[in-house]
Amino acid sequence: MQHILFQAVAQLTIKWKIEAADQGIYNITINVESMTISFVKVSYYTNLYLVGDATPGGWVLNNATGLTVDAGNPALFTWTGNLVAGNFKIATNLTFAGNHTWIHPLNNSQALNETGAAYILSGNTDYQWNIGASDEGAYTVTVNLAGVNPAVQIVKTGPLPLDLLSFSAKLDKALASKATLNWLTTNEVNTSLFSVERSIDAKSFETIGSIPAKNIAGTHQYTFEDKNVLKGIAYYRLKQIDINGKYTYSDIASVNNNGGLQLSVYPNPSTDRITFNYIAKNAEVSVFNINGQKVISTKLASDNTLNVKTLASGYYTIVVNDCVSKNFVRFVKQ
């Protein structure tokens, strides 16, 4: 505590000096009645953590969700992320042992828009913030330690985003080669559809189909079949499109349609049109009869089919040349 002396401005030469070692945050109290002033250096917790089943890390302290301290204000911490139905409180130390301070709401029924909070030692009243099922969503949590008691602001910024739990692609060569894509989702809120995209180089993608989203709570399984698998390595991704038009992409899954691939067509036998089991741009297709005569010479159609309606009934050999390799397959025209 120091006394204050008022002087005329022209005569004011006395100053307080802060040494380099004393830099920091201070509470300064001026009492004009007693003409005194006090300087109290304040130290704050260096780490804060969200702990509870409403948070990404649950109740496991090793997975606790850390808040980020403001670079210019050591009393201010923030976190942005998803909160689900459950409870949480704020830890200042990663231990459940006694004599460590936690930050709690003032009671268990405290509304999320109320900022009151208190420091409570482990083992005492265990109040927690509650996130109801209808409260699930994206949040920003801000903790201000500057006052006598902390202030905790919990602001919902939007609904929970779609969680893509898994996405895989598998090659099936049982009949004609096809790729089966499977994905698992949860938290479908305002989700419109899944657009399936394919690429030969993992850079330029084309849309090959779409599936409407269920857009309801719960976990959902989806399956999509690509019956015209690219030869070589085919890359797939999902474009997850929301009702408002916003979209995100999944990770990329792939299948290798190279080693051991046998060219096939279906149906076989056929009466009018056959479909090939792979797509190769600008591939040349030649059809030979049993006498070795070339009866059809054309480019592989964009829909991966060939019209054989005009051919006479009998056995034929098809040669597909995609400038990398030649593949042969026999078929029967009925």
Among residues 175, 170, 176, the alpha carbon closest in space to that of 276 is found at 176
pLDDT of residue 112: 95
The answer to whether the beta carbons of residues 151 and 75 sit under 8 Å apart is no
Q: Residue 267, preceding bond cis, omega within 30 degrees?
A: yes
Based on C-alpha coordinates, what's the Rg of the chain?
A: 34
Q: What are the C-alpha distances in Å from 5 to residues 29, 305, 308?
A: 15, 98, 107
Which pLDDT tens digit goes with each residue over 263-312? 788 888 899 999 887 656 677 899 999 888 999 999 877 778 889 999 99
Which parts of the chain have pLDDT scores under 70? 1-13, 24-25, 27, 42, 98, 173-176, 258-262, 278-281, 323-325
Structure tokens at 245: 């038009």
State the number of CA atoms in the 13 A half-sphere of 132 facing the CB: 7
CATH 2.60.40.10 domain span(s) along the chain: 163-257
pLDDT of residue 175: 47
DSSP codes of every residue in 244-298 = TS-EEE---EEEEE-TT----EESSSBSSEEEES-B-TT-EEEEEETTS-EEEEE
pLDDT of residue 25: 65
pLDDT of residue 115: 96
Which pLDDT tens digit goes with each residue over 101-142? 899 999 999 999 999 999 998 878 899 999 998 888 889 999
pLDDT of residue 173: 65
Distance CA 1, CA 116 (A): 31
CATH 2.60.40.3620 domain span(s) along the chain: 49-158
- The CATH number of the structural domain formed by 49-158 is 2.60.40.3620
Neighbours of 330 (CB within 10 A): 12
User: Is 1.10.510.10 the CATH classification of the domain at 265-333?
Assistant: no
- CA max distance for the chain: 119
For the chain, counts of helices (H) and of strands (E)? 0, 28
pLDDT of residue 127: 94
User: Is 2.60.40.10 the CATH classification of the domain at 163-257?
Assistant: yes
* End-to-end CA separation in angstroms for the chain: 107
Distance CA 37, CA 126 (A): 38
- Tell me the average pLDDT of the chain: 85
CATH 2.60.40.3080 domain span(s) along the chain: 265-333
The answer to whether the beta carbons of residues 50 and 64 sit under 8 Å apart is yes
Give the angle subtended at the CA of 170 by the CAs of 266 and 174, to the nearest 5°: 35
The answer to whether the beta carbons of residues 270 and 314 sit under 8 Å apart is no
Distance CA 259, CA 263 (A): 12
pTM: 0.49
